[in-house]
Amino acid sequence: MKILVTVKRVVDYNVKVRVKSDGSGVDIANVKMSMNPFDEIAVEEAVRLREAGIATEVVAVSCGVTQCQETLRTAMAIGADRGILVESADELQPLAVAKILKALVDKEQPQLVILGKQAIDDDSNQTGQMLAALTGLPQATFASKVVVADGKATVAREVDGGSETLSLKLPAVITTDLRLNEPRYVTLPNIMKAKKKPLETLKPADLGVDVAPRLKTLKVAEPPKRSAGVMVPDVKTLVEKLKTEAKVL
């Protein structure tokens, strides 16, 4: 069984991002970049399935600029067997990425596609669902446990009211939640081994995909700073302020 797993290069989660002075976007110059944390979980899960003898190959895919090769090498250091970079300097919105992944699914014919549920830069939470729709494959989002056996994937997922368990016939699309697993620490020997693993580079045009943006960002702004709290002497005053000032009662 082949597993296709996606990885995205994003600003490291420890970095406090700054909005550009013209409000056109976020300043990423000289900022530390790393693999999207949810995608790390996806790679870890795919590698665990291969180590358990359920999968035979794990293929990591990334879409974006040339530097995404570093992210793919990290995925291969975790345990992916090979990488595919769909290189593009254009802004890649979720629909464009889903179309690229659909073309790669048609080409690679994986039995399972695992994605992080969302990227921490745009928080769109759309690509996995769009990919499932484009490919016509069953999907399970926000997976907290995955069991693959007998041509089916049993997925436990979190919902507003608690949790539910889905049974999907393979091939299928799964997106990962934080509770699915804890990614392993990448060791130096594995980093060195990853440098020798195959990495294929393609262009969106090679896959026949149009990645022109469908959405336009008008302005990016930082959220307003929170005002300081106010101490009130008693419940009566609190209720009065909620009525007259906050206007929530």
Per-residue pLDDT for 158 more than 90? no
Contacts of 134 (CB under 8 A, 6+ apart): 98, 99, 102
Residue 5's pLDDT is 97
Confidence category of residue 78, pLDDT binned at 50, 70, 90: very high
The tokens describing 120, both together, are 């921490």
- Tens digits of residue pLDDT in 24-62: 888 888 889 999 999 999 999 999 999 999 999 999 999
Contacts of 71 (CB under 8 A, 6+ apart): 7, 8, 9, 33, 34, 35, 62
For domain 2-224, the CATH architecture is: 3-Layer(aba) Sandwich (3.40)
Mean pLDDT of 162-180: 94
